[in-house]
């Protein structure tokens, strides 16, 4: 069976619309893409800089397409959230290896997908990887 995720995420941050489109083929070790939606994606890039406590640089723009290799870490049960029937939410987790457009910057992070709860969570803990992630998502 072939599965394919396509999420379009839009939201507000500091009064500005943020967003992107994510496409993914979970069974494959590649096939992860973030697609720009224009200004909302640029705002998302600036939100990441702010959330990572980096100096916000509004010169770079979100790349038209951001690609990464994707490795499934399998689904796990999120016991902190139950559904109305009393069961727990299942969350799929992936490790993403971003394809750098130069040899200096390469980023890794985790992506958690809760399709039932309509949530995507990007987990990034290392300061250097945070800078690399911003770099890999940017075009200048």
Higher pLDDT, 7 or 95: 95
Q: By the 8 A CB rule, do 25 and 4 touch?
A: yes
Q: By the 8 A CB rule, do 98 and 135 touch?
A: no
How high is the mean pLDDT of the chain? 77
In this structure, of 28-37, 51-60, 63-72, the range with the lowest mean pLDDT score is: 28-37
123 token code pair: 């987990």
Q: What percent of the chain has pLDDT over 70?
A: 74
pLDDT at position 40: 93
Domain boundaries, the chain: 5-139
pLDDT at position 30: 58
């Amino acid at each position: 069976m072939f599965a394919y995720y396509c999420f379009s995420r839009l939201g507000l941050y500091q009064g500005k619309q943020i967003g992107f489109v994510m496409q993914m083929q979970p069974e494959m070790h590649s096939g992860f893409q973030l697609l720009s939606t224009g200004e909302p994606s640029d705002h998302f890039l600036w939100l990441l800089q702010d959330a990572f406590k980096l100096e916000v640089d509004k010169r770079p723009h979100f790349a038209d397409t951001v690609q990464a290799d994707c490795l499934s870490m399998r689904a796990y049960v999120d016991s902190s959230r139950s559904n109305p029937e009393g069961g727990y939410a299942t969350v799929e987790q992936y490790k993403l290896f971003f394809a750098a457009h130069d040899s200096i910057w390469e980023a890794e992070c985790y992506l958690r997908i809760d399709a039932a709860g309509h949530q995507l969570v990007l987990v990034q803990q290392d300061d250097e990887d945070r800078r690399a992630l911003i770099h890999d998502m940017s075009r200048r």
